[in-house]
Chains A and B, each alone.
Chain A
């Protein structure tokens, strides 16, 4: 299994441009999440999904859209990039274990710079 894959690895955008960060998982996990990681701030949840067709907002959703048309894919769209969105973005997937907890599997990240 490839696990969780993210593309691109690096991206530079100009302010106002839009783009989509891709995330895919081949583990048939129900749950997928997008986080951003900024220096000294840990990971903050942007959006998450509990299954195909179902998404919800996390802690910092403004400026981002998501959709979940299939179990495997969970793209993150930046509508109009701003310098404040310069960050490292991680996608994660998880499933509910038999002991009723969720262990997340992370992709390698996308490093985004907005100038």
Chain B
């Protein structure tokens, strides 16, 4: 069974707007990661947040983690057409086994 559920399933915005996607998971975790998948390609790692962290930034990405609610959010600020992709959260319990969510499809219109 999937550890992570993401919402929305799909999101359409204009360039320059911010995009927020959310991930909920079921059991305790050590780390939560976000990956991006461009159409027809493999996944690429974006950012990792540890269970003892609440917020992390990387360029235009901001990730938050609320372990009490078992949820995380990924914010992409000032989005660009090149950000069009699917975004997945993935959790682990301190091993190499990652459990992926179902993903959010982001479409950014020029």
Q: Give A contacts to B, CB under 8 Å.
A: 4, 31, 33, 35, 40-45, 48, 50, 58-59, 90, 92, 94, 96, 100-109
Contact = CB atoms under 8 A, between A and B. Distances in A.
Contact of A106 (B30, B42, B103): B42
Interface residues of B, number: 29
Contacts of A100: 94
B58 interface: no
A23 to B, nearest CB: 11
Given A102-B98, A108-B41, A109-B41, 9 more contacts: A31-B96, A35-B100, A42-B2, A42-B4, A90-B43, A94-B96, A103-B45, A104-B45, A104-B98
B88 interface: yes
B1, B31, B96, B99: most-surrounded residue (chain A CB, <10 A): B96
B96 A42 contact: no
Nearest to B9: A40
Nearest to A109: B42
B33 interface: yes
Interface of B: 1-2, 4, 9, 30-31, 33, 35, 40-45, 48, 50, 88, 90, 92, 94-103
24 contacts: A40-B9, A40-B102, A42-B2, A42-B88, A42-B102, A42-B103, A43-B43, A43-B100, A44-B2, A45-B98, A48-B96, A48-B97, A92-B42, A92-B43, A100-B94, A101-B30, A101-B92, A102-B98, A103-B48, A104-B45, A104-B96, A106-B44, A108-B42, A109-B41
A2 B44 CA distance: 15
A106 B95 contact: no
B101 A42 contact: yes
Nearest to B43: A106
Given A101-B30, A101-B31, A103-B33, A45 B97 contact: yes
A48 B96 CA distance: 9
Contacts of A40: 9, 102
A102 B103 contact: no
